[in-house]
Structures are given as C-alpha cells and as structure tokens.
C-alpha cells in the first residue's frame, strides 16, 4: 500500500555506509511513495518519448548481458523523463519458439515429431505454457533491484491472443502485397530442434569444430582406372551424391599414381590434398584440360541408392563458376538436397526439376531413412564413421584427415546445423534491400560505425527470410490451403477466421485451439486446412511495435504517436536478430525503420575473455555482486566501460569494487563533510543553513570555479545524453566528483569550517550544496540509488517553497525533479581556463614531490612555472596563492625564458596511425626522428611542417612536446612537464622551513588519531603531548612557536601533558613518531 507521506530515514554520519543495504532502504521508500507510478502520473500531458523494449525469454535467469541492456535503457528513459517527456516503459516477454520447446523436449525426452504427435499437441503446448513464465518473479526482482523503472503489470507477452492477432495482421499485410511465398530451398536446419532456421540465425552462432575430411575417388564409367577426385567434410552427404562439378575455365590434370597404379583427375594447384610433397610423390602428368573439357564425363556412383531413378541424367560432370582452386581438389561433390550451390547447379543442368525434388533421405531429426538402408536410423554425424568405413572397404577413400573449421551451430540446442532442402514460407527481403539501406541511413546508431558497416553490410547481402518453423508452441501461420496448394487464404484477424470458418468464440490462437478449424473452398476445392507451421519467434519479436499495442485493432492513435520509437537498445548480437527483423517488417509495412535512435552495446565476457559459462563457473553470480556492492556500482562499472561503444567487457568483480572506492566513497564523504560543516556552523554561530538557489555570484574564485564547472557539466550531459553518447558523459561526471572532492573541498576546507566568518562560510556551503545537488540531478539516471539517498539528505536544507526548482511541485524524490537548466550567471569560461592551468601545475608539482619522496608537509622554497604563452602565465599568477599553499612552496616564479629554464623540444609519433599513412617509408621516418634537433621540433610546433629523410610531414602526423634538459639545471632542482607546461621545483629541504614541516607532521598525527578514535569533525578536542624518551628541544620548540599553523589547521595548539587537567576526559592516547622523535599524544574532550 502506497504511503504518500512516507519519510526517508535520516542520514546517520556516525555509522559506516553500506551501499547495498542503503539501496534496499531506497527501494522501500520508492515502494512506499509508489515512485515509478507517481512519476508517470506527474508527466502525463508532456511530449511523449517512445521506447520499445526487446523481449527476453523468461525460461532462464537474467545474466550480466540482461543487466547491461536494462541499465542502458533505464539511463536513457530516466533522462528523457527528466527532460520533460512522458515515457511509457513496458516490459515484454518472448514466450514462444525454440528456447521453450527445447526445454520441454529435454524434460519429456522428446526425440522427434512422432513423440509429440503421440502425446498430442494440446498436452505438449500445455507443458510449454507451464514453464514460459517460470522465472518471471526472479526477473522482476532482479530488474527492480537494479533500479530499473519499467512497467511489469501492463507488459506484453508474445503468447497473448491480442499480440498473436496483430502478428496475423502483419503477415496478411505482407501476403496481400505479394511479399510472401512458399519455396523449397536449402536452409540451415537444426536436427535437435527439428526445424529450419533463417540465414541470420545460422550466421549468429559460428564455432570452431572438428569434422572428418575425406578425399574419394569416383571411377569413370568408360575408363574405370581413371578416377575423378572429390573432397568433402560431410561424408554423410555422399550417399545422396548425384553429380560432380568443375570450374569451366580452371586448369585440371590427369596424373598417374605409380603406387596406386591408377589415374586421378583434379586441379594441379591442389595436389597437396593428396600428397604431402607432390614433388617427391611418384606421380606424372598424363594430360591437361580446362574444366569445360570434362563436362559430361560419367562416373560410377559411390552408393546405389538413387542410381536407378537418376541414371539417365545424373552421375556426370557439370560445370559452374562457384568452384574454386582454393581448397579440396577443384572437383566438388554435388548432393543437391544438402547444399545451396549444389541445388542451384543440379537444377540448372536438369538433374531434377522443381516438380520432382532431389533425394533427401533424412527424417525430421536428421536420421537416415529408406532407401539408404545401410544407415537407417543413424544420425548424420553418427553415420559419418560408418560411411567412411564402407568407402574404405571399397578402396574409394584416397586420403582421410580431420579438419578444424568454423561452422554454424544451433543457437538454442548448441548442436551443429546441417543444410537441407525444406519447403518453407518466405518473406521477400531481397527486392527491398535498397529500401532497407535507405531506411537505416535515416536512423542514428551509437556507435555510428556499427550501423554503417556491420549492419549496413549485412543488409546489403540480405536474403529472403524463412519465417516458418516446423514446430508447435508458437503463433500459427494463418494460411489455410487446399491439398494441392493452388488455393491459399491468408487470415488477418480472429473476426475474419470466425467469419470464414463459421466457428465462433475463438479466444486462443495456438495450434491446439485452431488446427482443427477448416474453411470452405471458394474455388470448389473442398476444405481448406491450416498449414502446420508456426512463425519464427524473430517474426514475433519483430512485430512487437504493433503487437504490443494490438494495432490496428485498437490504440491506433497511441500507436501512431509512438511509431517509430525514439529509442531502442540491445547488444551487438541483435544486428542479425531483433534490429534486423524490426527493420524488415517496419520497411515492408510503413516504409521506415521502427526506431529513430539506437544504442548498441558490446558483449559481457568473463574476466579471462571467454564467454560466461555456468558449467565453467568463470563469472561471479550477479545477485551476489549486487548484494555485496550495490546495483549502482554494477551499473556505473558497466556504463563506464568500452561496452557502451559496442566493444566487449571482461567483467571483473574488482572493477565493481573500484567504483565504490574511487567514486562513491569520495562523493559520500563530500556529502558528509557538508553535513558536518552545517552542524559546526550551527554550533559556532547559531545559524541554520538554508540553501539559496538564487545566490548572487560569489566573490570567491573557488566558488565561481566550481559553480561554473556545474554549469558546464549540465550543458555537457544535456548535449551528450541528448545524442545518446553515454560513453562521453560518465567520464565527465566522474571528473566532476573528483574536482569537488580533491580540489574544491580540499582548497576550501578552512572557509567551510568558518575561518573567514559566517558570511563567507555560508557562501562556501551554498556552493558546496549547489554542486552536490547538481551531481544528484545529473547523475540520477546513471546511479538512481545513491543520488536518491544523498538528495534526501540535501532536501532538508532546501527552502520551503518550490523556488529550488520552479518546474516541479513534488520534491519527494530526486527522480520527480526535472533536469537542471544552466544558470547563465554562473557560467565563467575564464575562471575555468585559469583553474585548468592551476590543476596542471599542481598535478605536476604533486608528482614531483611524490617521485622524490618530498611529502607536501615539507615546505620548499621555490617553484618555477614555464610556459611560452603570456596568458597562461597570467592565469597561473591570478591563482598563485592556491598553488603556493597546496604545494607548500614559499615563492612562485613564472617564466617564458626557455634558456633559463632549460626547456627543449622533441617530436613524438603515434606509430600505428602514422604507419598506416607512411607504409614502407615508416622505417626511414622512425630512424630520422631520432636525429631531429630541439630547434627543428620547436619549428614543427610553430608551423606543423617538417621534412624527415626527404618525407614531408604535416599537422597531426607528429606531436611536439616540451621537456627539460636536467643537465642544465642547478643542483637540487627537479623538473617535470606534461608537454606544454614545465615546472621546476627547488627540492632542497632548508632548516628555516623545517619547523613548519614538523608542525604539519604533528597535525597529521593528530588527524589520524582523531579518525582512529571515530571522532566527528564537530567534536571539540584538545591535544597533549609528552616525550617517551629524552625531551627533544627541536620538537618542543615547534609546539610552542608554530601556533599559527596549528590554529589554522586544527583550531587548537597542542600543549604539554603537564598542563592537562586531572579531570580531563581522555578519548584516545597513542605513541607517535616524527623524524625519529617519539612522544605520547593524548586527545581529550574540550572543556
């Protein structure tokens, strides 16, 4: 039961923050306020943003690929909602087809069609129906736990009658336009699933496998001592051989094999198929031919099964240009029922006719039947070894080996496919290839290259689509036909079927409910019966845009508003699946693609780069990972990876853990720091902090910088997400978190603590609040849980009116708020440019100190910054006090004097890129680059022109960088450069600065002990010290003289233990060490 007045739990800064458990609190809060439904109600009347969700099968549990796809969809649809759209999001289920039937076949031990007919289609379909939604509850739980907002209660199922009825309408529309036909073609066929597959299904699952490869000899009828030599990796097709094929223009030879004492005819380029070293083999060439000279030669068949029927026109040599001399022997065995080219060539040469089809001696499960009586009942792969054994006994096997090659496997059963002739129903695709390409070109793909290249190339070679499956649990193809197939009636609705058949009350369209229904012939041909086939499940999911709305039977206006979809997204594998079938049907029906924008993601692999496998257990359980680290961490880890650029991701649990440490904890600590300083402000001044969304531009440069960065972030996220480039947004968001935690707060800690008075403190707190609030709003689509949690903590500081965001009245959730607009008054490109210079200098300075073991606590005398650009130096000068304080240097020197600073120039090349341009000249340039002088490199920096070893190079070919000749520097001077700016640091530790350094070391020990004792920033603490060895005068002097340093950093000065009151409440006491000086440090509650 929803509770609109539910209150989010108060944030407890004193306890550890468990991200996964906190997410469960957020889920409970969303449930209490019915957040998703409420957000939909609030957005009604806004401009619709349509989204189609590709339906998964619920026969298995969700895996990382599903989590990734769901996250991408959730990010985009949440953003669309926040930018002022109404986003209807409905979950869908793929309920029919091979995935379901294969499970039932395994459960019931079904081996073939006869087993299903024996039990009855009603019972078989009832079994299928019972498991279709087996994991529905687990799916819903996992999807909701991942933070995805989508409507399960009004989702669609492909097995619903309304959905199936729309499929009938789709098919009838295509049928009436002449885009459907029945044909006998050689198709990919799954013996395990007893059905043909489409070409794109076969193309989606190639694997490396081993097959027997044999070379056989077929004696000429008029010259039995001369054998035509053929090679095959499918010995099981040899009993159905009807011809041999050569290339009409290729060269062939007749050789004499002295050891075998017979002649062989084959391509001279492929003698290695028979002999390891043809030069050493005891053979000689007797005669040479071109292929057309061999046409018509008759040979003795390997097996007798089809000789009598075909002896007057088969078992002879044919020619066709598809034959090559790349592998085998140049003589190709023809089994027209099992090869597409075989079928075409034999049909063209009259071996069989369209009316009398070629022999296909296999049952539905790929087992041999009569007249191949020697192998009846054996599956094709099982029969291979028996066929080879029999041919060896006849002396017909010349060479036998094993070949490893890439071969298509059934995407559902995992068994190898075969190719065989199957009468099937096709949707015409080849005539509309140009339309498909044009429609696709009008859509946006992210990344674009996938749409243009991978998908575009696939479309260019599209084949007619076999949409029929010889199965049972699926949407029946609505064709009622006469016995001779001369009369065909296509039904497009339940009403039409009832009208034509006279049967009323039809509520279920599955085979067990309609196969018995007949239609009287309109041509006097008796009774029309429905064909046995059902739709390919890809036809069903491809019909989803129309069928989920039960179009055109209802919801016509709603459908027209939502078509084409603004957005769809799935994995890379769907370029040959759902994306493809969507486009075919959309183009046929409406002349356009059913989507405007499409994000395609890569595949999630195991950490070792292999496919995730339950049997190998090479990946962590998704549920355990979510419960350990939280869904936000999983979401951000995947979204901030190459996978959103359609590249693959090797999933590492450590990567999810890193997101917690490097992103969420610093972000959380920034929020907790705000809470602590607000409490401190109240304690010190009695002032309750209230966020002012309309605060004037601060006079403080740090406030102006962080607020300007907020506006740039808002601009960036709106632009990039608006163009579906998720991969550019997340790095920018993470940079903002880093800038907040490691720059703004670090540089403003004293201001935020109240050092400059309450007015300045409130200004700094307002800037910090604004930044955290902006992060919540801009990150909410990516990390819905932590943004909700932090937002609820910020919400209590907002003014009571809706002035924080005039576009919303309901502030109960961050996900009810609109995406922020840029505050023009806060935009400040100059400040951002200056601060970018400051960051470069400080990062180089920090790196120098770390590299040379000079902690920031140790004061140094001088830092010199070199840059050739005067404005750059002016930018650094304007922020010099921050640089001096952060790097703990007394003087900052700015210079553009290259000689004085020892600045030199060098050229670097991106060899993989440049190599493609230079090719054979790359070696020359590589060698000559080492000889380029500093002056020449500088000249290239100015002009982007240089000639190396006579080869001219221009802009972008090379990169000019500054560096320092350290030999020219004074002693103790340290240098570093990022290629543009150069810094020189005086690394000598001077006695006059050591006292301050020791004071900073003491401060560091006090801060560490406070943290160890679990103290909060607001806890007032006094510190006392006593030497545990001999009294050290130097450190004692530091304690007494560096009072400014202590007060500025920790608000109090450490005192000797002799001054500690006897009644003092000791919080913590521990021995410390600074510069080998040991002392006891005691922390007590301030009186």
Catalytic positions, written as ranges: 55, 94, 538, 574, 578, 611, 614
Number of helices and strands in the chain (H, E): 40, 40
Integer Cα distance of 846 and 240 in angstroms: 77
* DSSP code, position 890: E
Distance, in Å, from the CA atom of 583 to the CA atom of 573, rounded to the nearest integer, reads 15
CA separation for the pair 742, 733 (Å, rounded): 14
Identify the residue whose tokens are 């080996």. 401
CB 228 within 8 A of CB 218: yes
Q: Distance (Å, rounded) from C-alpha 549 to C-alpha 310?
A: 54
The answer to whether the beta carbons of residues 923 and 934 sit under 8 Å apart is no
What span, in angstroms and rounded, lies between the C-alpha atoms of 763 and 239? Answer: 89
Distance CA 569, CA 585 (A): 18
Share in percent of the chain as helix, strand, coil (round to 5): 45, 20, 35
Distance of CA 1011 to the CA centre of its chain: 41
Q: Is 1076 left (phi over 0), alpha (psi -120 to 50) or beta?
A: left
Cβ-contact 561, 50 below 8 angstroms:
yes
Nearest alpha-carbon partner for 901 in 1003, 817, 975: 975
CA 522/CA 519 separation, integer angstroms: 9
Strand 597-601: give its sheet, edge to edge.
444-446, 597-601, 568-571
Task: Name beta bridge partners: 245.
Answer: 318, 332
- CA 933 centroid distance within chain: 46
Cα gap 195→860, rounded to integer Å: 79
**Residue 612 CB partners (closer than 8 Å, separation 6+):** 63, 64, 604, 605, 606, 618, 619, 651
CA distances from 783 to 634, 660, 791, 1066 (A): 9, 12, 12, 42
Helix (H) or strand (E) holding 623: helix 622-629
Helix (H) / strand (E) containing 489: strand 488-490
Name the token pair of 707: 């607020």
DSSP element (H, E) containing 289: strand 283-290
* CA dist., res. 1025 & res. 415, Å (int): 77
Nearest C-alpha neighbor of 459 from the set 203, 695, 646, 672: 203
Of the candidates 10, 33, 38, 5, which has an alpha carbon nearest to the alpha carbon of residue 22? 10
Measured CA to CA, the distance from residue 449 to residue 455 in angstroms comes to 9
Burial class of residue 315 (count of CB atoms within 10 Å of its CB; 0-12, 13-18, 19+): buried
What burial class does residue 547 get, using C-beta atoms within 10 Å of its C-beta: 0-12 exposed, 13-18 middle, 19+ buried? buried
Longest dimension (CA), the chain: 123
Helix axes 35-43, 19-33, angle to 10 degrees: 50
Angle at 179 between CA 176 and CA 184, to 5 degrees: 120
Nearest-10 crossing angle of helices 829-851, 701-722: 100
Q: Is 744 helix (H, G, I), strand (E, B) or coil?
A: helix
DSSP single-letter state for residue 202: H
């Amino acid at each position: 039961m929803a509770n609109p007045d539910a209150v989010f739990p108060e944030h407890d800064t004193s306890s550890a923050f468990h991200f996964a458990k906190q997410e469960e609190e957020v889920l409970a809060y969303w449930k209490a306020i019915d957040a998703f439904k409420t957000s939909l109600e609030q957005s009604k009347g806004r401009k619709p943003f349509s989204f189609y969700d590709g339906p998964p099968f619920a026969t298995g549990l969700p895996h990382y690929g599903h989590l990734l796809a769901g996250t991408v969809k959730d990010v985009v649809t949440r953003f669309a909602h926040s930018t002022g759209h109404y986003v209807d999001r409905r979950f869908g289920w793929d309920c029919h087809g091979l995935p379901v039937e294969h499970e039932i076949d395994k459960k019931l031990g079904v081996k073939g069609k006869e087993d299903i007919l024996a039990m009855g289609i009603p019972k078989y379909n009832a079994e299928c129906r019972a498991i279709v939604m087996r994991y529905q509850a687990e799916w819903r739980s996992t999807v909701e736990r991942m933070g995805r907002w989508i409507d399960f209660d009004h989702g669609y199922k492909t097995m619903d009658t309304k959905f199936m009825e729309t499929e009938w309408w789709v098919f009838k529309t295509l049928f009436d336009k002449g885009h459907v036909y029945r044909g006998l073609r050689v198709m990919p066929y799954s013996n395990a699933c007893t059905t043909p597959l489409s070409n794109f299904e076969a193309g989606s699952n190639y694997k490396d496998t081993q097959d027997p490869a044999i070379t056989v000899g077929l004696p000429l009828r008029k010259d039995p001592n001369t054998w035509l030599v053929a090679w095959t990796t499918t010995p099981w097709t040899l009993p159905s051989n009807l011809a041999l094929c050569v290339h009409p223009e290729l060269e062939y030879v007749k050789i004499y094999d002295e050891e075998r004492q017979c002649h062989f005819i084959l391509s001279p380029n492929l003698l290695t198929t028979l002999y390891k070293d043809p030069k050493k083999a005891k053979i000689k060439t007797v005669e040479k031919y071109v292929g057309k000279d061999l046409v018509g030669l008759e040979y003795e068949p390997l097996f007798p099964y089809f000789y009598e029927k075909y002896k007057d026109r088969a078992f002879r040599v044919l020619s066709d240009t598809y034959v090559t001399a790349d592998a085998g022997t140049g003589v190709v065995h023809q089994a027209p029922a099992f090869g597409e080219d075989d079928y075409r060539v034999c049909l063209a040469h009259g071996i069989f006719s369209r009316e009398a089809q070629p022999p296909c001696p296999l049952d539905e499960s790929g087992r041999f039947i009569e007249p191949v009586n020697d192998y009846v009942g054996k599956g094709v792969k099982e029969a291979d070894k028996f066929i080879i054994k029999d041919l060896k006994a006849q002396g017909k096997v010349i060479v036998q080996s094993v070949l490893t090659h890439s071969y298509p496997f059934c995407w559902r059963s995992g068994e190898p496919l075969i190719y065989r002739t199957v009468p099937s129903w096709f949707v015409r695709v080849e005539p509309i290839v140009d339309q498909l390409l044009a429609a696709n070109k009008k859509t946006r793909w992210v990344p674009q290259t996938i749409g243009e290249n991978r998908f575009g190339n696939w479309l260019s070679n599209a084949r007619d689509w076999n949409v029929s499956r010889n199965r049972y649990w699926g949407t029946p193809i609505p064709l009622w036909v006469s016995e001779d197939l001369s009369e065909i009636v296509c039904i497009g609705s339940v009403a039409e079927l009832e009208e034509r058949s006279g049967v009323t009350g039809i509520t279920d369209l599955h085979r067990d409910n309609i196969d018995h229904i007949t239609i009287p012939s309109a041509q006097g041909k008796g009774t029309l019966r429905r064909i046995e086939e059902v739709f390919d499940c890809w036809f069903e999911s491809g019909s989803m845009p129309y069928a989920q709305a039960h179009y055109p039977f209802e919801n016509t206006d709603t459908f027209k508003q939502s078509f084409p979809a603004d957005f769809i997204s799935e994995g890379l594998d769907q370029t040959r699946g759902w994306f493809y079938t969507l486009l075919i049907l959309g183009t046929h029906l409406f002349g356009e693609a059913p989507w405007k924008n499409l994000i395609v993601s890569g595949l999630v692999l195991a950490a070792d780069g292999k496919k995730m496998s339950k049997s190998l257990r090479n990946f962590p359980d998704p549920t355990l990972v979510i419960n350990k680290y939280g869904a936000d961490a999983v979401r951000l880890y995947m979204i901030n990876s190459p996978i959103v650029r359609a590249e693959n991701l090797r999933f590492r649990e450590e990567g999810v853990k890193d997101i917690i440490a490097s992103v969420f904890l610093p972000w959380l600590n920034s929020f907790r720091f705000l809470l602590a300083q607000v409490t401190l402000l109240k304690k010190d001044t009695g002032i309750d902090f209230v966020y002012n969304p309309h605060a004037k531009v601060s006079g403080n440069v740090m406030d102006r910088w962080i607020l300007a960065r907020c506006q740039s972030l808002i601009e960036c996220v709106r632009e990039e997400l608006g163009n579906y480039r998720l991969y550019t947004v997340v790095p920018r968001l993470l940079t903002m978190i880093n800038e907040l935690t490691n720059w703004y707060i670090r540089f403003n800690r004293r201001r935020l603590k109240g050092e400059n008075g309450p007015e300045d403190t409130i200004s700094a707190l307002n800037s910090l609040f604004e930044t955290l609030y902006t992060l919540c709003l801009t990150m909410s689509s990516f990390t819905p849980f932590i943004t909700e949690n932090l937002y609820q903590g910020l919400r209590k500081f907002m003014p009571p009116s809706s002035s924080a965001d005039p576009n919303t009245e309901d502030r109960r959730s961050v996900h009810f708020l609109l995406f922020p607009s840029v505050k023009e008054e806060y935009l400040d490109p100059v400040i951002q440019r200056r601060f970018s210079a400051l960051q470069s200098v400080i990062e180089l300075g920090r790196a120098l100190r770390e590299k040379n073991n000079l902690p920031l606590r140790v004061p140094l005398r001088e830092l010199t910054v070199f840059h050739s650009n005067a404005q750059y130096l002016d930018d650094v000068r304007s922020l010099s006090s921050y640089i001096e304080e952060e790097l703990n240097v007394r003087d900052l020197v700015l210079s553009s004097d290259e000689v004085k600073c020892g600045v030199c120039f060098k050229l670097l090349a991106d060899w993989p890129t440049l190599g493609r341009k230079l090719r054979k000249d790359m070696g020359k340039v590589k060698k000559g680059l080492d000889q380029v002088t500093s002056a020449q490199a500088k000249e290239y920096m100015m002009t982007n022109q240089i000639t190396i070893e006579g080869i001219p190079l221009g802009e972008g070919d090379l990169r000019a960088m500054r560096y320092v000749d350290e030999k020219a520097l004074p002693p103790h001077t340290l240098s570093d450069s990022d290629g543009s700016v150069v810094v020189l640091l005086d690394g000598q530790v001077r006695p006059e600065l050591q006292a301050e350094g020791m004071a900073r070391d003491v401060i560091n020990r006090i801060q560490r002990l406070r943290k160890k004792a679990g103290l909060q920033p607001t806890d007032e603490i006094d510190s006392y010290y006593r030497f545990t060895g001999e009294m050290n005068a130097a450190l004692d002097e530091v304690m007494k003289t560096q009072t400014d340093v202590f007060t500025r950093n920790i608000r109090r000065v450490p005192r000797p233990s002799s001054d500690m009151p006897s009644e003092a409440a000791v919080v913590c006491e521990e021995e410390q060490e600074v510069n080998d000086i040991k002392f006891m440090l005691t922390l007590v509650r301030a009186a």
